[in-house]
Amino acid sequence: MLLLTLGTAAGGGVPQWNCACPGCSGARAHPDRRRSHDSLAVFGGGQSSWFLINAGPDITDHLEAHAELRPGAGSERTPVVRILLTDAELDHTLGLLRLREAHHLKIFATAPVRQALRERLALDSVLTPYATITWHDLPPSGQTPAVAAGIEVSAVPLSTKRPRYAADAVEDDTWVVAVRLHDPATGTTALYAPALAAWTEDFANEAAGADCVFVDGTFWDDDEPKRLGISARTSTGMGHLPIDGPGGTAGRLAQLPGRCLYTHLNNTNPLVDPSARQHRVLAGLGLEVAQDGMVIEL
């Protein structure tokens, strides 16, 4: 399977339109530091087509930026008709509205995410006058996986964190999931977890067996959002395990056999500056920071 990182930023992107913090200012001065909302394109090889994990507000820029995702011959015109979702957050789902010109969209999501998008964001009633939408279950790993473009896909439940627009919805541990991708042709497995609230036993087991793991790199340390005044909560309190420190993910990822990359970086994360010392800390642990536009073959 081929993985293409379309975007690697948390909500707002880097730079964020209403922010002039050092990370955002640095990205304005150095365009190569810009990061768009996290999204991963996946290709199963052979005659299959690409599919996306998460559809943020940058989605049509993402599709235009990569020749393999642009339209061509064939009845579907575009190679992208399948979208998998890790959660119902606006930064991962607003792009669905930008795909209204599609003939047919197939959306794979867990039950609470589907329900939030259909009932609270009214995606069905807004989009179906334009395009045919079909909803597909993203079953928990261990059950019979769904198949998208030749790749077996399933969900690793991570947390009950609901988007603010669905804060009163019923708790369920599949509100936020990691997507597990398994290519039966090559026997390889990847995990995509841009929002990791807790290092659960299920996630630990799946990560230990994966060839490549993308992990929540929203904040470097647990106090970052409080210290920089963007939240009264810690990183963990906001549903994102920090990278560094006790309970951080770096120490755990360093023990894994597969390739590990951080994604979903917030504009406050010192890693958005390529000269930051924190890059050397991660390199010393054998860990990587994903960039927009990386291609990984598994």
Structure tokens, 211? 């060839």
Relative to beta strand 188-193, strand 176-183 is antiparallel
Comparing CB distances to Zn ion, the nearer of 21 and 212 is: 21
Q: Does 113 interact with Zn ion (rule: CB under 5 A)? A: no
DSSP three-state, residue 189 = strand
Q: Does 19 interact with Zn ion (rule: CB under 5 A)? A: yes
Relative to beta strand 2-7, strand 295-297 is antiparallel
**Shortest Å distance, C-beta 219 to Zn ion:** 13
- How many CB atoms lie under 10 A from the CB of residue 33? 17
Segment interacting with Zn ion (CB under 5 A) among 21-29, 61-69, 110-118, 280-288: 21-29
Taking the C-alpha atoms of residue 298 and residue 17, their distance in angstroms, rounded to an integer, is 35
DSSP three-state, residue 255 = coil
- How many CB atoms lie under 10 A from the CB of residue 178? 29
**Shortest Å distance, C-beta 7 to Zn ion:** 16
**Shortest Å distance, C-beta 272 to Zn ion:** 9
Q: Which amino acid is at 221?
A: D
**Shortest Å distance, C-beta 267 to Zn ion:** 3
Judge contact between 213 and 193, C-beta under 8 A. yes
Q: Does 250 interact with Zn ion (rule: CB under 5 A)? A: no
**Shortest Å distance, C-beta 163 to Zn ion:** 21
Q: Does 41 interact with Zn ion (rule: CB under 5 A)? A: no
Segment interacting with Zn ion (CB under 5 A) among 83-91, 208-216, 237-245, 265-273: 265-273
Q: Does 195 interact with Zn ion (rule: CB under 5 A)? A: no
Burial pattern 47-86, b for ≥16 Cβ within 10 A else e, equals ebbbbbbbbbbbbeebbebeeebeeeeeeeebbbbbbbbb
**Shortest Å distance, C-beta 14 to Zn ion:** 7
Taking the C-alpha atoms of residue 83 and residue 104, their distance in angstroms, rounded to an integer, is 11
Q: Does 267 interact with Zn ion (rule: CB under 5 A)? A: yes
Segment interacting with Zn ion (CB under 5 A) among 86-94, 114-122, 178-186, 263-271: 263-271
Q: Does 218 interact with Zn ion (rule: CB under 5 A)? A: no
**Shortest Å distance, C-beta 23 to Zn ion:** 5
Q: Does 266 interact with Zn ion (rule: CB under 5 A)? A: no
Alpha-carbon distance values, 261 to 38, 75, 212, 219 (Å): 13, 36, 8, 14
Segment interacting with Zn ion (CB under 5 A) among 16-24, 121-129, 171-179, 217-225: 16-24
Comparing CB distances to Zn ion, the nearer of 33 and 252 is: 33
Taking the C-alpha atoms of residue 141 and residue 153, their distance in angstroms, rounded to an integer, is 8
Q: Does 27 interact with Zn ion (rule: CB under 5 A)? A: no
Judged by CB under 5 A, the number of residues near Zn ion is 4
Q: Which position among 4, 6, 21, 133 is part of the footprint of Zn ion (CB under 5 A)?
A: 21
Comparing CB distances to Zn ion, the nearer of 189 and 267 is: 267
The contact set with Zn ion (CB under 5 A) reads 19, 21, 24, 267
